[in-house]
Amino acid sequence: MPQAVVIGGGVGGLAAAIRLAREGLRVTLIEQGPRVGGKLNLREVPHPNRPHDRPFRFDTGPSLLTLPFVFKDLFEFAGVDIRSRLPITRLDPIQRFVWPDGQTLELTGDHAVNLRNVRAFSPDDAVGFERLIAYGRKIWELSGESFLGQAPEQMLRGDGKFDPAAALSMLSVPLRIGVLRRFSTVIEKQIRHPRLREIFYQYATYSGASPFKAPATLAVIPYCEMEFGGWHPNGGMYRIAEALESVARELGVTVLTRHRAEKILTVARPGKRQASIRVLGVEVNDLSRDAASISRIDADVVICNADVVWAYRHLIESSHRPHFSDAKLDALEPGGSGMCLMLGVEGRYEQLAHHTKFMPTDYRSDLRAMFETRTIPEDPCIYVCAPSRTDASVAPEGCENLFVLCSAPPIDGNLDWHQAGAMYEAQIIASLERRGLTDLSKRIRVRERFTPMELMHLYNANAGAIYGISSNSMRTAFLRPPNRDRKIEGLFFAGGSTHPGGGLPLVALSGKVAASLAMEFVGRA
């Protein structure tokens, strides 16, 4: 029976492990943290004055589930009814936008409602709004299933061989979906109101990109969110990781938490024209022991769910990766990042929706700080997720658990985050108090702060970027580091820094792609 090792227990790694185990492989998943999930993780903190009450339950990463059918497909592949493992609640509204003068706009999963809200907000933009959503629908229909569910190399061939017709069709798709146009250009062509433009600009940041650099294909993001809805798993977002781990274990996957991959073992073998390199397994350190405990797990295939840039730099012998030299890795631009606050608050702020975005006076200044000057924005967009608005189980009775996220630049050495983080936190809380969250600083009972430094140290995120490599160009949006290493036989990648990109559903699909390629390799070996 072929042996597979999955490095990293994020959603991509879990998805790959489930699919490989279902195909009959013997799978070992190693995760350096105390629990699986990767950036989709959990903090549970008791109320300091009510230790016997239910705790504040904070999801530390993604706070919205979109494209739920991606997970339905994964569970069905595993032979499991997702409804019995992961009940979800549809959010209405998906988001509420609030400006400093009190003007608001809500977006939902109902197109007619959205059109009515936009018409009331800016009557001249109703037609442009419909056109922009229709453009996103066109992108989805042209490329959604074919691009997201397969590696580019799989799209170029049919029945295992190069298919000229498939190649021609694939090569024409990028032009038809606007890779040569900027996302901001498409928005500004259809939308006149500056505040409505800002709403659409912010969708680019979902992939760590600037709307002024990213290709117009990102118009698919608002379409998907509004077409397929936004959802909340009952009990919190971390329930997704818990459900995936449970299914993986039922399929026979060996899950080893507190085990860190130290090295992907490879060997160079003389070939007819040049030496070929193949994986042998993974060198693992058992972190549950007091002293270093290094062992080896042999493998026919390795799927790496770690950040691609970090993995090549730290896990693979440099002489075996000339195609990803340090210089080439340095040239890959990290995407944007953020700083989040997890605030356990006494009482409730009834003016909050499940997702509320407090828009700044000038949203462009926020984007310039993240992508150009690489500084802390003076007036950031403040995203507040209040899951207790939908799900009372995630906070003590009568309390809120607020997940607050603001943009931040990736780490480049210009900011001391130990100092900048505290200053930014105080700035954010003061701004929220001015925006109507009265006495917030006095009502906080629990607080934790995550900066790009924590993202880098906890999850090996390159430069502390949330979404891995940026999508600020056609190459990084469509030709990210591939799911299959073409020079190292048996090595595959899943996660937000590889194809098809960042975000929960795309990361789950990366696990599907990596597992599919691994099974092709096992079948040939």
87-129, pLDDT tens digit by residue? 999 999 999 999 999 999 999 999 999 999 999 999 999 999 9
pLDDT band at 523 (very low <50, low <70, confident <90, very high): confident
Is residue 221 within 8 Å of 343, Cβ to Cβ? no
Give the 3-state secondary structure of residue 349: coil
Mean pLDDT of 40-49: 96
Q: What is the residue extent of each domain of the chain?
A: 3-33+258-333+472-524, 41-65+87-108+229-235+336-466, 110-221
User: In what helix (H) or strand (E) does residue 250 lie, and over which residues does it extend?
Assistant: helix 238-250
- How do residues 226-258 score in pLDDT, each as one tens digit? 999 999 999 999 999 999 999 999 999 999 999
- Distance (Å, rounded) from C-alpha 40 to C-alpha 60? 6
> Rounded to 10 degrees, what is the CA torsion of 30, 34, 37, 43?
-170
- Distance (Å, rounded) from C-alpha 113 to C-alpha 361? 26
Is residue 90 within 8 Å of 251, Cβ to Cβ? no
What's the pLDDT score for residue 149?
78
**Structural domain 3-33+258-333+472-524, CATH architecture:** 3-Layer(bba) Sandwich (3.50)
What's the pLDDT score for residue 78?
98
The number of beta carbons lying within 10 Å of the beta carbon of residue 335 is 28
What's the pLDDT score for residue 172?
53
β-pairing verdict for 294-298 and 276-286: antiparallel
- Between 311 and 1, the more confident residue is 311
Mean pLDDT of 139-150: 79
DSSP code at position 462: G
Check whether 176 has a pLDDT greater than 80.
no
DSSP codes of every residue in 493-522: E-STTSTT-SSHHHHHHHHHHHHHHHHHHH
What's the pLDDT score for residue 16?
98
Kindly provide the b/e burial profile for residues 39-49, where b requires at least 16 CB atoms within 10 angstroms of the residue's own CB. Answer: bbbbbebbbee
What's the pLDDT score for residue 8?
98
Check whether 474 has a pLDDT greater than 60.
no
Q: E strands, 200-293, where?
A: 231-233, 254-257, 259-269, 276-286
Is residue 189 within 8 Å of 156, Cβ to Cβ? no
- How do residues 356-400 score in pLDDT, each as one tens digit? 999 999 999 999 999 999 999 999 999 999 999 999 999 999 999
CATH 3.30.160 fits 41-65+87-108+229-235+336-466, yes or no: no
Is residue 40 within 8 Å of 63, Cβ to Cβ? no
Global pTM value: 0.93
- Distance (Å, rounded) from C-alpha 20 to C-alpha 26? 8
Please enumerate in sequence order all residues whose Cβ is within 8 A of that of 289, keeping only pairs 6 or more positions apart, or say none: none
What's the pLDDT score for residue 353?
97
DSSP code at position 213: T
* Chain-centroid distance, C-alpha 509: 12
Q: What percent of the chain has pLDDT over 70?
A: 91
Q: What percent of the chain has pLDDT over 90?
A: 81
Q: Number of helices (H) and strands (E), helices first, in the chain?
A: 19, 22
Quote the mean pLDDT of the chain: 91
What's the pLDDT score for residue 62?
94
The number of beta carbons lying within 10 Å of the beta carbon of residue 166 is 15
DSSP codes of every residue in 368-381: HIIIII-S--SS--
- Distance (Å, rounded) from C-alpha 195 to C-alpha 299? 53
HEC letters along 5-71? EEECCEHHHHHHHHHHHHCCCEEEEEECCCCCECCCCEEEECECCECCCCCEEEECCCCCECCCHHH
- How do residues 279-313 score in pLDDT, each as one tens digit? 999 999 999 988 779 999 999 999 999 999 999 99
Q: Which residue has the tokens 């998907």?
A: 224
What's the pLDDT score for residue 173?
55
- How do residues 429-440 score in pLDDT, each as one tens digit? 999 999 999 999
- Distance (Å, rounded) from C-alpha 137 to C-alpha 349? 36
Q: Classify 8 in phi/psi space as left (phi over 0), alpha (psi -120 to 50) or beta.
A: left
What's the pLDDT score for residue 516?
96
- Distance (Å, rounded) from C-alpha 483 to C-alpha 487? 12
What's the pLDDT score for residue 174?
55
**Nearest alpha-carbon partner for 65 in 85, 47, 86, 80:** 86
Check whether 221 has a pLDDT greater than 60.
yes
Q: What is the largest CA-CA distance in the chain?
A: 73
**Nearest alpha-carbon partner for 504 in 11, 85, 7:** 11
- Distance (Å, rounded) from C-alpha 186 to C-alpha 173? 17
What's the pLDDT score for residue 473?
60
What's the pLDDT score for residue 118?
98
β-pairing verdict for 157-158 and 161-162: antiparallel
User: In what helix (H) or strand (E) does residue 106 lie, and over which residues does it extend?
Assistant: strand 104-107
DSSP code at position 484: B
Most confident by average pLDDT, 5-19, 263-277, 496-510: 5-19
Q: Which amino acid is at 304?
A: C
Which residues does residue 403 pair with via DSSP β-bridges, in sequence order?
342, 385
